[in-house]
Amino acid sequence: MRYAYYPGCSAESTARDMHQSTLAVARALGIDLVEPKGWTCCGATAGHQTDRLLAVSLPAANLTKVQDMKLDMLVNCAACYSRMKVANHEITSHSSIRQGVREALDRDYDGSVKVRHLLEVLLEDVGLPAITKAVKRSLNGLKVACYYGCLLVRPPKILKFDDPENPTSLDRLVTAMGGTSLEWPCKVECCGGGLSLSRTDVVVELTGSIIDMAASVGADCIAVSCPMCQVNLDLRQQDINKQTGKNYQIPIVYITQLLGLSLGISSGELGFNQLMVPASSVLEKIHERA
Amino acid sequence: MITIKNKKNGQGLKRAVEELSGVDISVCFQCKKCSSGCPVARLTRSRPSEIMRQLHLGAGNELLESDLVWMCASCETCSARCPMGIDVAAVIDALRKLALARGASKQKGNVPLFNRAFLKTVETFGRSYEIGMIAAYKLGTGKLMNDTEKFPAMLKKGKIALLPPRGGDRKTVRRIFKTVKQNKEAKA
Ligand code: SF4
Ligand code: SF4
Ligand code: SF4
Ligand code: SF4
């Protein structure tokens, strides 16, 4: 199993923990990841809100690099995943856009590079039985609220990831590791990540109701697969607590961090120390001696 | 309540939105599913279904002042749930672009400035760079963001990179930005 791994810019800053844990888990499961040389930013929401050609060309610059490697692209950040797939869709369905991208990149790109999310690779290529077999430390007793956010599942017609209203990829992984995945209604609620710096008031409101719900169903932690969701839900608990007088301390962990723990990798190697709300309660539950 | 001013230049707005978004506004039958799924609708004065209705009735540039235009989180829940398959989020995207192009008044939070700051770092470094972006954004808004108190902790956890990103193919990215700019100028 070999893929061109696109880390995304946040892998070098806010989400080094996601990046590290992705690499560690891939190594443990025999997944071979190669970074495309010179990869660049996908433009994220800012590109999308600014200009259509920009929003397609920035991802396309990376997709062409992967095309040259003759591999599928593997992405872990939900935001990058969405931008890459939407770009492919735009290029294959509008010849004018493909023409625009050709000018912008100074080369033609046909939109054919396959973009896979890490979760898809884990579930489809590695498979749950193999993962269960590789588990060294069960997540037995750990109650996990799985959070997909928006960009993994929407727009459903283009992304075709799981069930857009009730996805279960993360939940199935948690169960395969011996943990308990909780039923809760916020799996695909938006946390307002794109407005994080510009409209903090809106974001505190949206993250507040998600954290609230996770607490009320008794979650030990929330598992995510998007650096923007992670940072948003993790960082905003301070503000939520300040504004509401509550004292939420729910660790927001990457699914790759949980998977790494269950595969017997140390919490240090998985970047657990980078979480703002400490995950010590999670580590204790799965008996990791720090 | 929905009031419509400026009917005349309103048709222009509807057509411009339809052109930018590829959406046929008239197929909306006001079931309001988009609004009930919209995460920010409980905070905004205007809701997505109302925007659709106002466009249909021929609203003009005053619609560009709606708070939803800049509070929309681009989560696409509205588009995913619309029974008519209308890409409502693309309609809001179109309004956002028109608000910028037609000089609608600045809204709280200044999303355009934030987007510019973000993209500027991408244009310069090939990858986004928080410190550069935050500096540009702060200079632009002229006030300290209330989030600065979180910086020390984030720096300590390595969540903010001190040095600008390296290794990205800057040449291609600059070419992209240049082409996009030229295209815009050609259209204007
Ligand atoms: S989504 Fe964010 S992290 Fe991913 S490449 Fe784009 S800007 Fe970078
Ligand atoms: S950060 Fe929030 S807004 Fe962005 S994908 Fe995750 S849930 Fe959606
Ligand atoms: S969901 Fe679709 S049809 Fe219903 S009100 Fe919204 S845009 Fe109109
Ligand atoms: S995309 Fe915007 S308008 Fe549509 S549901 Fe999300 S926040 Fe509301």
At B42, phi and psi to the nearest 5?
Answer: -75, -10
Is residue B38 pLDDT above 80, yes or no?
A: yes
Q: Mean pLDDT over residues B146-173, rounded?
A: 78
Per-residue pLDDT, B166: 84
Cβ of A200 under 8 Å from any chain B Cβ? yes
CB-CB contact of B124 with B168 (8 Å): no
If you classify domain A136-285 with CATH, what class do you get?
Answer: alpha beta
CA distance A90 to A244: 43
pLDDT at B107: 66
Give me the pLDDT at residue B144, please: 46
Give the pLDDT confidence score for residue A246 in this predicted structure. Answer: 93
Helical pair A95-105 and A78-93, crossing angle rounded to 10 deg: 110
Given a contact cutoff of 8 angstroms between Cβ atoms, the answer to whether A236 and B108 are in contact is no
Is A164 in contact with A154 (CB distance < 8 Å)?
yes
Q: What integer is the mean pLDDT of B40-56?
A: 96
All domains in chain B, ordered by first residue: 10-101 (1.10.1060.10), 111-187 (no CATH)
Phi-psi region of A253 (alpha: psi -120 to 50; beta: other; left: phi over 0): beta
CATH 3.40.366.10 fits A2-117, yes or no: no
Q: Which atom of ligand 1 is nearest to the CA of A10?
A: 3
What is the per-residue pLDDT for B137? 67
**pLDDT for the residue numbered B152:** 72
| pLDDT surpassing 50 at residue B1 | no
Dihedral (CA of A266, A271, A272, A273) sign? positive
CA A19 to CA A124: how far, in whole Å? 21
Separation of CA B19 and ligand 3 centre (Å): 19
CA atoms of A213 and A195, how far apart (whole Å): 21
Side chain identity, residue B64: L
pLDDT value of position A106: 96
Residues 101-140 of A with CB under 8 A from B: 103-106
Residue A20, Cβ density class (10 Å: 0-12 exposed, 13-18 middle, ≥19 buried)? buried
Mutate to test the interface with B, among A16, A154, A212 (most CBs of B within 10 A): A154
| pLDDT per residue rounded down to tens, chain A (290 residues) | 999 999 999 888 888 999 999 999 999 999 999 999 999 999 887 888 888 999 999 999 999 999 999 999 999 998 899 999 999 999 999 999 999 999 999 999 999 999 999 999 999 999 999 999 999 999 999 999 999 999 899 999 999 999 999 999 999 999 999 999 999 999 999 998 877 777 888 899 999 999 999 999 999 999 999 888 898 899 899 999 999 899 999 999 999 999 999 999 999 999 999 999 999 999 999 876 44
Residue B128 scores a pLDDT above 90? no
Report the percent of chain B where pLDDT is more than 90.
52
Tokens of B46: 């205007």
CATH 1.20.1050.140 residue ranges in chain A? Answer: 2-117
Whether the pLDDT of residue B181 is over 70: the answer is: yes
- The number of the ligand 2 atom at minimal distance from the alpha carbon of A226 is 6
Whether residue A226 has its Cβ less than 6 Å from ligand 2: yes
Angle at B49 between CA B44 and CA B55, to 5 degrees: 105
Q: Where in chain A is the domain with CATH 3.40.50.11810?
A: 136-285
A54·B145 Cβ contact <8 A: no
List pLDDT tens digits, range B104-118: 776 666 778 878 888
State the pLDDT at residue B10: 58
**Nearest to A110, CA basis, from A60, A70, A43, A74:** A60
Q: B99 exposed, middle or buried (CB, 10 Å; 0-12, 13-18, 19+)?
A: buried
Q: What is the pLDDT of residue A199?
A: 82
d(CA B45, CA A212): 24
Question: Looking up tokens 């990376």, which residue turns up?
Answer: A62
DSSP output for A205-217 = HHHHHHHHHHHHT
Of A94-98, B17-21, B98-102, B112-116, the poorest mean pLDDT is in B112-116
Average confidence (pLDDT) over B13-29 = 95
AA letter at A225: S
User: Which of B33, B97, B115, B116 to mutate against chain A (most A CBs within 10 Å)?
Assistant: B115
Evaluate if residue B8 carries a pLDDT over 60. Answer: no
- Taking the C-alpha atoms of residue A59 and residue A40, their distance in angstroms, rounded to an integer, is 8
pLDDT at B165: 85
Closest CA to A276 of B99, B150, B43: B150
- Residue B146: per-residue pLDDT: 55
Q: Could you count the other beta carbons within 10 Å of the beta carbon of residue A32?
A: 11
> Is the complex ipTM more than 0.90?
no
pLDDT at B110: 72
Structure tokens at A182: 């909780």
User: Which bound ligand lies closest to the C-alpha atom of B74?
Assistant: 4
Ligand 1 pocket at CB < 6 A? A 8-10, 41-42, 44, 77, 79-80; B 128
